[in-house]
Amino acid sequence: MDFAVQAHMLSPPTAARIVNPNRTLTSPTSTSLRASLSTNFLSPFPAVAASPEISSDSSYDPTLSTQPLSPGPSPDVESSPWGSAWEQPPPDLASYLYKNRIVYLGMSLVPSVTELILAEYLYLQYEDEQKPIYLYINSTGTTKGGEKLGYETEAFAIYDVMGYVKPPIFTLCVGNAWGEAAFLLAAGATGNRSALPSSTIMIRQPIARFQGQATDVDLARKEVKNVKTELACAVTQFAPGQPWPWSNVKLKKET
């Protein structure tokens, strides 16, 4: 590309600067690769002709910008509900059970478990007083492996709230319902107490271990007997019309 080099000359005011018309700033447009003026690398862009009509007072198009184009926001990718389990986020099982009004008792009756079940009962009643609440039971009561973990009062607290809330409570044994857990299974709404085929249900007398002075031991013994009588009375009420009165119900070690 040839550039015209002109020398500035002093001339009278009336004189005009003469430009050789045979020398222009234009170069033929070429689609082939050309060498860059600043470097020796090849440029992938075609050569652009420089027109002599371009001047410093030419109009500027504000719509043209020298900033690079942004790629824009990427579209949201929604995973298919039938995709692989590895591609899906892990489900929130606790929220799923709550959404379907399911209360799951899968541990021994200790204070923390009792508090959670009571809170769920009360809130589900606040949410809807007509829809039933489902209690799924897989628990060994207040004991586990012969070790005492809780007190019978935990089961009685749940039993009282089950009778207090307005929604009917449907109970289902999905594994084991032993001791106080069997008591809660029987506390469900009449006609809606059930168990899966391989479930085991066992009711037994309360278990207590204590030590101390003779007077303290005697008081604890009387308290355990009262709990046993109250438990037998409550279980009898779940089956009205039976020929055996509650006073004849005898809870053995394992029944």
Q: How far apart are CA 46 and CA 238, in angstroms?
A: 93
Other CB atoms within 10 Å distance of the CB of residue 184: 25
pLDDT for 5 equals 45
pLDDT for 174 equals 94
Multiple choice CATH, 93-207, 2.60.120.280, 3.40.50.300, 3.90.226.10, 3.40.50.1370:
3.90.226.10
Confidence class for position 81, pLDDT limits 50, 70, 90: low
Q: How far apart are CA 118 and CA 109, in angstroms?
A: 12
pLDDT for 177 equals 92
With a cut of 70, say whether residue 231 has pLDDT above it.
Answer: yes
8-17, 88-97, 136-145: range with highest mean pLDDT: 136-145
Nearest alpha-carbon partner for 127 in 105, 102, 101: 101
* The model's pTM: 0.60
The domain locations on the chain are 93-207
Q: pLDDT > 90: what percent of the chain?
A: 29
HEC states along 92-139?
Answer: CHHHHHHHCCEEEECCCCCHHHHHHHHHHHHHHHHHCCCCCEEEEEEE
Task: Choose between 78 and 99: higher pLDDT.
Answer: 99
Q: How far apart are CA 120 and CA 113, in angstroms?
A: 11
pLDDT, tens digit (0-9, with 9 covering 90-100), for 171-223: 999 999 998 899 999 999 988 999 999 999 988 888 777 788 888 888 888 88
pLDDT, tens digit (0-9, with 9 covering 90-100), for 90-126: 677 888 888 899 999 999 899 999 999 999 999 999 9
Q: Residue 148: beta bridge partners?
A: 143
